[in-house]
Structure 1
Amino acid sequence: MRVAWLLGVLLLAGCTGTRPPAATLSTDSLLRAAISRHIDVLASDDFEGRKPGTEGEAKTLRYLAREWQAAGLESGTNDPAHPWFAPVELVSSTPERSAVRFTRAGRTALLPRDEVVAFASGTRGLVEDAPVVFVGEQGERLDSAALAGRVVLMMWDHAGQTEQREALLRGGAAAVLAIVGDRAELDNLVEVRRRGSYRLAEADGADTLDGFVTRSAAAALIGRDRFEALVRDAREADFRPVALDLRSTIEAVSVAGMVRTFNLIARLPGKRPAAGAVLVLAHWDHFGHCSPDTGSPGICNGAVDNASGLAVLTEVARRLASGPRLERDVYFVATTGEEWGLLGAQAIAENPPIPLDTIVAAFNLDTVAVAPAGTPVAIVGRGLTPLDPGILEVLRLTGRRESEERLAQEYLRRQDGWALLQRDVPAVSVTSAFGSAEALDRYIAQRYHQPTDEPGGIELGGAVEDLLLTEALVRYFSDPAKWAATAGKSAAPL
């Protein structure tokens, strides 16, 4: 059994102690070296991109468990049957082929070649001769009567695109096709989907059918002038879905399977566990073998995303465990399946190691090695939790500056904290990674979800500062004398 196999390595943890640092080295140099060491291991080709359900996952969890136990943490699952490793059952789906056809008045509507594609979450999805409706950016508030049995065209170029698609499918749409900017964007999205997708096995098991179509293909279908008018109208507050004079037949075939993966959960016991707990999390997963280029290893190693977050989390745990005992418990979680839809974080929200209303504060570490030292700090989730006054106080005490908010909020729903926020857990990400648009744009263009996200040449200045800031945040919120909590609800700083 894989759990037993993973647990076996913990017996060796005592042999993996860290060599004491030279006294002449600065704190900054020591932390840079520690972060680099973790990234070099976790983002090496030997870990094969840390895809769930692979040997790369087993190596990742073995490494983290050894490091965390050596630092002084203990199992935090609170489940004797599954110490350290909390199982997460996933349903996998790998696309095989698809065909999409549109008709108008019984005649086939011609499309540019290879500019529309569909995917089935189950083994086969089929919609025959269904009416087509354009909804723009709407989703959650639409009546199911407007969606049921229809192929829905939605816009993809806006925040909340994934949530919109999920809402449309939950609302009864027979299929959802998202309109993307151009062929290059379509190819990138298709490449991601060809790596396979996952969903929680415990979630609603209804199979879905979705896909993408380019803007030029949508314009050819609808008529360019009418399409541009629909896109303009969709931005208005009073826009309503528009039935089109089109019908569609869509078929997609996938190879389905089951994957057993794990969240890693550890605890640093505090003096007063009844006073609530602080949670620190970072996702361990990435995409594995991801490049069709047979002339290279083709591995998405995820050095920045998210070996850097794991490195910072591990060193925060080590520093906290080596100091005076904190008042509140602190839980450290390495989540699975973030890249596939925040699945590990959803599993934590569904089956938490402690009651969710006892979590005083949660801090997510994701893609931290992006910005240089001195970059202002973004608060992803600002204004959505009671934590803001305490966070701002810690920023003041540590001499950090807050960045402009807009950039951070664009990523609110794309990180593990969002799954916890949905359950009213006060979860934020406080990081320099989203504090500089220039640094973030450079990372996205050069590394994001690409085989180029390798250990070499990573900017660690902001990561070191974020490590010290995260430590300060945990110390602050773990102290009831500084941050009170009543019935699991965070209060203002004292």
Structure 2
Amino acid sequence: MRLAFAAALLLASTSAQAQTAPDISVDTLKEVTKTLSSDAFEGRAPATPAEDKTVAYMIERFKAAGLQPGNHGSWVQDVPLVQITASNVAPLTFTGGKTPVSLAYRKDTVLGTYQVVPHVSVKDSDVVFVGYGINAPERGWNDYASVDVKGKTVVILVNDPDWQMMTLDGPFGGRAMTYYGRWTYKFEEAARQGAAAAIIIHDTEPAAYPWGVVESSWTGPQLEQDTPGDHMDQSKAIGWIQQDSAKALFASAGKDYAALIEAAKHKGFKAVPLGVKASVSWDSAIRRQASKNVIGILPGTAKPDEVVLYSAHWDHLGHCAPVKGDDICNGALDNASGSAALVALAEAHAKAGPAKRSLVFLSVTAEESGLLGSKFYAENPVYPLAKTVGGVNMDGINIIGPAKDFVLVGVGKSELEDMVKPFVAAQGRVIVPEPSPEKGGYYRSDHFSFAKLGVPMLYGESGEDLVKGGKAAGHAASKDYTTNRYHKPQDQYDPNWDWSGGIQDLAIYYGLGRQLAEGSAWPNWYPTAEFRAVRDKSRLGQ
């Protein structure tokens, strides 16, 4: 550990014990969450009239909190997006097997495309099962080694080959998901291999969410970053099929589903042509529109060019698959609560007064569409990433009461983890491993956009060991949310929520951010972290 960083860590321990509790307003948390998740905001979908209302509200709250416009006199940063809405979606059919297999849109399959074209057609494409669809040379693993899939349809398993291990020492991190397990990677690699279509088999446990989440997230208008080339280097069709549909497909192909799933877990697996052909088509309505990130700043007094960052996404799904006639996915917890936390932290820091370094509050768009707003900012930063010290990302705030523990998502990555420990300990809490590392939470929110380009961002939250009810109560609440509310219309504001645990977490985020902003430390990634090299390179010229 560098001497300067070790000294900063010792100071952190002392300051965390002595620090006065920040003035974080529970009324702000309630008011902002309730407002943003009301039906009047129609689920806050980007590139809709609801965006204008959401952006205006976030600007209003940032102004009232005491921030200044954060983009050279403007409150916003334009994020170019293209919206693609599928219609006339034909069934996904597989022919040439023992019996034809026809999968209905939404019920059995969901499909989409990155390509910006008015019509998508995949016809009589040879189907290949490619196991987990991973090409990882550094791990000696390549599911595509024995097959050419150019122009073909690949069927892929979700997560990593060792996701069923209960330890963290497997070839792909055991229970903890690597980026190779994420659906985004599966489609990226399939495109690199030249596949015409890439279909992931949905399984609730390794996917980390039920089919209803896939259906609500993948149907209706879909957003992508609007870039030159219209994403024509991507597969024509991407999507998911239900596990029962996959079993029917394998049976039609005369293949033993269970045996192939088992074989795919092991090094040296060879892709298996299924001997059937896939066809599907649909029309795409295309609309290009800039969405907006909202940026506020509390300028620093001594080193204003050095920036500490807080981020949270303002968007949600808008109108989605209806439940009992309700088709608005309000996104109260995800992420009206995180947006409220962003405002509450801005208020607290402004009340404490400017720090030596600047504090930037970034409310990003299109997280639900693939971290698009944070990705665009990270690639086109208002404040250079080499001058961005680090920060905190918030995606959902604890509304179920105080927890005895604090979870660092993606633990073992950066020195921010050392810096936050005294703040957690000062509350009499303990840091614990992720309860469900197989869900790949580290790759599912906006901190990842910054991490990929070298900026250390903390992503931590209350654990499941509640003061009232212990681990059983915390796990039950977490499971209830994932099963019944996540990405569904039921994620609605509840006036009976207990915000006291959220206030505790925000005190930790405040303390860490304040210490970074008042100090001179430059926390880095641990030497073994995959983002260390890019950070070292970016800082080299400073």
State the TM-score bracket (shorter-chain normalisation).
Answer: 0.7 to 0.9
Map 1:186-265; keep pairs closer than 5 Å: 186=211, 188-202=213-227, 205-207=230-232, 208-223=236-251, 226-265=256-295
1:483–1:293 CA distance, 2 compared to 1 (3 A): closer
Task: Work out the CA distance in 2 between the residues paired with 1:211 and 1:425.
Answer: 31
1:57 and 2:40 matched: no
Task: Work out the CA distance in 2 between the residues paired with 1:119 and 1:482.
Answer: 45
Question: Which residue pairs with 2:433 in the alignment?
Answer: 404
Cα deviation, 1:180-208, whole Å, max 9, x if unaligned, reads 248x9555523332222110002652253
State the AA in 2 paired with 1:439. Answer: A
* Deviation, structure 1 residue 173: 1.0
8 Å CA contact retained: 1:276, 1:488: no
Question: Which residue pairs with 1:329 in the alignment?
Answer: 358
Question: Which residue pairs with 1:119 in the alignment?
Answer: 112
Q: Secondary structure at the match of 1:255?
A: strand
* Deviation, structure 1 residue 134: 0.8
1:469 and 2:503 matched: no
1:430 and 2:468 matched: no
Task: Work out the CA distance in 2 between the residues paired with 1:28 and 1:450.
Answer: 34
Task: Work out the CA distance in 1 between the residues paired with 2:460 and 2:492.
Answer: 24
8 Å CA contact retained: 2:456, 2:523: no
8 Å CA contact retained: 1:111, 1:221: no
Task: Work out the CA distance in 2 between the residues paired with 1:30 and 1:280.
Answer: 15
Map 1:13-92; keep pairs closer than 5 Å: 31-78=25-72, 83-92=74-83
8 Å CA contact retained: 1:157, 1:181: no
Task: Work out the CA distance in 1 between the residues paired with 2:524 and 2:452.
Answer: 20
Moved more, 401-410 or 417-426: 401-410
Task: Work out the CA distance in 2 between the residues paired with 1:185 and 1:468.
Answer: 33
Runs of 4+ residues deviating >6 angstroms: 27-30, 484-488
1:387 and 2:416 matched: yes
* Stretches of structure 2 lacking an aligned partner (at least 5 in a row): 1-20, 137-141, 161-180, 466-473, 526-533
Q: Which of 176, 197, 201 does residue 175 from structure 1 map onto?
A: 197
Q: Which of 397, 411, 415 does residue 368 from structure 1 map onto?
A: 397
Task: Work out the CA distance in 2 between the residues paired with 1:244 and 1:324.
Answer: 65
Q: Secondary structure at the match of 1:339?
A: coil
Q: Which of 100, 107, 110 does residue 92 from structure 2 map onto?
A: 100
* Deviation, structure 1 residue 483: 5.6
Cα deviation, 1:256-309, whole Å, max 9, x if unaligned, reads 21122100011111123367211100000011122435844x211111111111
Task: Work out the CA distance in 2 between the residues paired with 1:372 and 1:72.
Answer: 29
Cα deviation, 1:131-159, whole Å, max 9, x if unaligned, reads 21111212344559733211000113664
* Deviation, structure 1 residue 429: 1.1
Cα deviation, 1:303-345, whole Å, max 9, x if unaligned, reads 1111111111111111111114311111100000001110101
Cα deviation, 1:229-271, whole Å, max 9, x if unaligned, reads 1100111122232222222222232222112210001111112
* Deviation, structure 1 residue 467: 1.4
Task: Work out the CA distance in 2 between the residues paired with 1:137 and 1:488.
Answer: 30
State the AA in 2 paired with 1:85. Answer: V
Cα deviation, 1:4-36, whole Å, max 9, x if unaligned, reads xxxxxxxxxxxxxxxxxxxxxxx8997322211
* Deviation, structure 1 residue 216: 2.4
Task: Work out the CA distance in 2 between the residues paired with 1:168 and 1:203.
Answer: 21
Question: Which residue pairs with 1:306 in the alignment?
Answer: 335
State the AA in 1 paired with 2:151. Answer: G
Task: Work out the CA distance in 1 between the residues paired with 2:24 and 2:387.
Answer: 34
Question: Which residue pairs with 1:147 in the alignment?
Answer: 149
Task: Work out the CA distance in 2 between the residues paired with 1:138 and 1:307.
Answer: 35
1:229–1:445 CA distance, 2 compared to 1 (3 A): same
Normalised to the residue count of structure 1, the TM-score between the two structures is 0.85
Moved more, 326-335 or 27-36: 27-36
Map 1:440-455; keep pairs closer than 5 Å: 440-455=478-493
Q: Which of 405, 408, 415 does residue 445 from structure 2 map onto?
A: 415
Higher relative contact order (CA 8 A, sep 6+): 2
* Deviation, structure 1 residue 484: 6.4
Task: Work out the CA distance in 2 between the residues paired with 1:136 and 1:448.
Answer: 28
Q: CA RMSD in A?
A: 2.9
| Percentage of matched positions with identical amino acids | 28
Moved more, 227-236 or 191-200: 191-200
8 Å CA contact retained: 2:215, 2:321: no
Q: Secondary structure at the match of 1:377?
A: strand
Task: Work out the CA distance in 2 between the residues paired with 1:394 and 1:186.
Answer: 38
8 Å CA contact retained: 2:24, 2:345: no
Normalised to the residue count of structure 2, the TM-score between the two structures is 0.77
Moved more, 280-289 or 163-172: 163-172
1:384–1:37 CA distance, 2 compared to 1 (3 A): same
Task: Work out the CA distance in 1 between the residues paired with 2:44 and 2:408.
Answer: 28
8 Å CA contact retained: 1:120, 1:253: no
Task: Work out the CA distance in 1 between the residues paired with 2:487 and 2:321.
Answer: 10
Task: Work out the CA distance in 2 between the residues paired with 1:344 and 1:447.
Answer: 24
* Deviation, structure 1 residue 452: 1.7
8 Å CA contact retained: 1:100, 1:117: no
1:112–1:147 CA distance, 2 compared to 1 (3 A): closer
8 Å CA contact retained: 1:90, 1:261: yes
1:480–1:203 CA distance, 2 compared to 1 (3 A): farther
8 Å CA contact retained: 1:43, 1:303: yes
* Deviation, structure 1 residue 58: 1.4
1:406–1:166 CA distance, 2 compared to 1 (3 A): farther
Task: Work out the CA distance in 1 between the residues paired with 2:53 and 2:103.
Answer: 45
* Stretches of structure 1 lacking an aligned partner (at least 5 in a row): 1-26
* Deviation, structure 1 residue 374: 2.8
